[in-house]
Structure 1
């Protein structure tokens, strides 16, 4: 794993002032509405079950009381939360026994556009100290891939059982990131995982998706007052390198508006990106080094003939992308440039049948991992869907080709310089961690190193003067990726959240 010059990559967060202006919220449960005020009372809502209907009713709250997650009892029904500031959004949430029985776990939906779109999420309390630990959001990339992959393959409280040893299909993960933080896993945009739309509505740009993510986080933080003022960290991988800087920027800009209006802000502190695609200008140069250099393996794995052809095509690829995608974006010319680059610089990799996320291994199973096939089978069990409260009409899939195609049609990856979002966040005091696995080809560490070195921000000179140093865990060099190095990834996260040197 390459953790890139962490001492100079980020700046110190200047925490925004949190205003305690009173706001009203609404909790809806089984068609009844209850006003919820602003306050810090812990003697809150108690679920009362009807022996006849098996449904829960929430008694009215007096002004000054607030809702606590622990007040949501274990039931098959959702509690619906709304906020007058987001009239077209609401959150449905239920308690569940899914995955981690050592903590309180919840699942639910963010309902968007007056209930026409539905984004699924999982939430797990911290195993360490849920009442004080920070809050994280994790998303997978794609675009179009479910965060259940990150949950059940990498860093979630449980992992998919590949040995058929568990009676419930998952096994406990002692290195889950909820060891040190309360964590969301969000399936976004609609069409991803268990997220769905009623009438074929879609979200096809990152900027549009950012508004829904901001609404979801706002409703959650403003309704469940135990999280008021808690530090928030946005994390993810792959296309998350595009998603997260835009999501974080939307939160920061909305915070600026909230301060002017005397409303509560979201305490956004850091962004954590693993093997991300951010600055498109360095992508193909990095891929060439992974295949034909020694940046990943001790000996290049591509044939000499292939590497010679790629080397000859690389300058033209970069020139075309610079002119048509970066200096002045033109959708037709940019797409032609990308097609040229892919044909000349990616074809050999796909033909090699190596795992594009770990070139040291062959590509086996869905998306090159057998775990993904097992995850899809597990999530499509009726028992799993009932446990989660999943209401998506179709079957679960790890990644949605339709969502991916929608983003591609809008040239989402290419039309906007995402690295500028990163620079602007850094200038505003948001810390950013970039890490990357050594063996990844798709969104490789070389490309990330290159774009960080040329990132235009006030810390650029200090960053480039810094020397790389070994990152160790228990006295040993740490490496590769979270899927293969869960302990090391957890140590990385713990040090980062504590603002300690990695």
Structure 2
């Protein structure tokens, strides 16, 4: 783990310093609430480079009413790009989920290829010069239609027409609904990692709008957060003791890091060379090279209807910490501590949940008034847990969407 000044989350700190300027603009997160009836158009993607044959599911990168980009803001200064994959089960009845991937600023390809989407990288047959794709048998599109969004501007194929439009912050993220589509479809919001800070604010905006009758009524049913940030300093400071408890750090490394950093692993003094050195020993970075190479190839950009003057797609900050079944990015113990700070009554205490009669993790349920919260762990899951345990996560989301008990 790196100190804050060198962290992969650093860019968002710059955005937060610009709150007064960005209050004049509303950076919209687009949700296409489609009638789920497939409309033949030039924006229906039937084939993709790296995948043999026609795609066995419906993929759209634009809509009859929206073209391949969605303009948002007062003068459409932000041009949003998205991937829409229709439910493979029953698109006329299944809900719609908007998925926000990590951050700050991640291409929707990260969620599509590495987490819950219908395609994934075929590593056995891929090279950095030519990535191959294969079907993900545990895609969440088995139960819901999903929109993967490139956001904010400057991420993926999403761009802005003015330099000012690139400056955003968390509280400027709201929902914009396309008037071309029906508004009765059940909507869920999904997010992971840093996007866990943003998603609840979006949901709150929806509830606020529904209560006062501002805009169309949105049929929001709930939201799901995977390994979310909740309280940044507490989340990050929990990494070191968690890694030690899980035997990922030796006693010697843990003792040295704790003493030299004085128990503070987030706001680190860059002049504290002993602490910085210890954190470098702890840190294990990795990145996803295949998706960037694939997305920047000319044939892929043509297949996805990317505007020609977009020079280079950035899958910004595609760095992660790999820990197998030990998430050192946002340890679950910090999430539990945050939930307990909400003082919600427990209605179903800590117990195991199962897939095929095997313990897949542990869960606890909370409820207050008409609000309910389910917390669940997944054995063997890393920070982007569906990447490591796709079968278990598909089972979890199907039960949750159908309001079945884990």
Where on the TM-score scale, by shorter chain, does this alignment land: which range?
A: 0.7 to 0.9
Residues 359-395 of structure 1: CA distance to partner in whole angstroms, max 9, x if unpaired? Answer: xxxx4xxxx14xx101111111111111111226231
Structure-2 separation of matches of 1:309 and 1:106 = 49
* Aligned residue runs from structure 1 range 302-317, under 5 A: 302-310=250-258, 313=261, 317=264
- TM-score computed with the length of structure 2 as normaliser: 0.73
Alpha-carbon distance, 1:303 to partner = 4.8
Structure-2 separation of matches of 1:96 and 1:159 = 16
Gaps in structure 1 of 5+ consecutive residues = 1-65, 76-93, 319-336, 355-362, 405-435
Backbone CA RMSD of aligned residues: 3.1
Q: Match for 1:204 among 145, 157, 168?
A: 168
Rg larger in structure: 1
Q: Match for 1:453 among 336, 340, 358?
A: 340
Who is 1:139 aligned against?
100
Who is 1:119 aligned against?
80
Who is 2:155 aligned against?
192
Structure-1 separation of matches of 2:141 and 2:208 = 28
- Preserved contact between residue 257 and residue 278 of structure 2 (Cα < 8 Å): no
Alpha-carbon distance, 1:282 to partner = 2.4
Q: Match for 2:357 among 467, 475, 483?
A: 475
Alpha-carbon distance, 1:499 to partner = 0.9
Structure-1 separation of matches of 2:395 and 2:199 = 22
Structure-2 separation of matches of 1:276 and 1:385 = 31
Who is 1:339 aligned against?
268
Q: Match for 2:199 among 241, 244, 254?
A: 244
Alignment coverage as a number of residue pairs: 332
1:97 aligns with 2:79: no
1:223 aligns with 2:194: no
Matched position secondary structure for 2:81: strand
Structure-1 separation of matches of 2:123 and 2:197 = 31
Who is 1:151 aligned against?
112
Who is 1:351 aligned against?
281
Who is 1:396 aligned against?
313
Residues 320-368 of structure 1: CA distance to partner in whole angstroms, max 9, x if unpaired? Answer: xxxxxxxxxxxxxxxxx823499787763443453xxxxxxxx4xxxx1
Residues 399-420 of structure 1: CA distance to partner in whole angstroms, max 9, x if unpaired? Answer: 159xx9xxxxxxxxxxxxxxxx
Q: Match for 2:208 among 244, 253, 256?
A: 253
Who is 1:267 aligned against?
219
Runs of 4+ in 1 over 6 A off after TM superposition: 165-168, 341-346
Structure-2 separation of matches of 1:494 and 1:184 = 17
Q: 1:498 to 1:246 in 2, by over 3 A?
A: same
Structure-2 separation of matches of 1:437 and 1:248 = 31
Structure-1 separation of matches of 2:218 and 2:38 = 23
Q: Match for 2:346 among 454, 462, 465?
A: 462
Q: 1:123 to 1:67 in 2, by over 3 A?
A: closer
Alpha-carbon distance, 1:68 to partner = 5.5
Who is 1:74 aligned against?
41
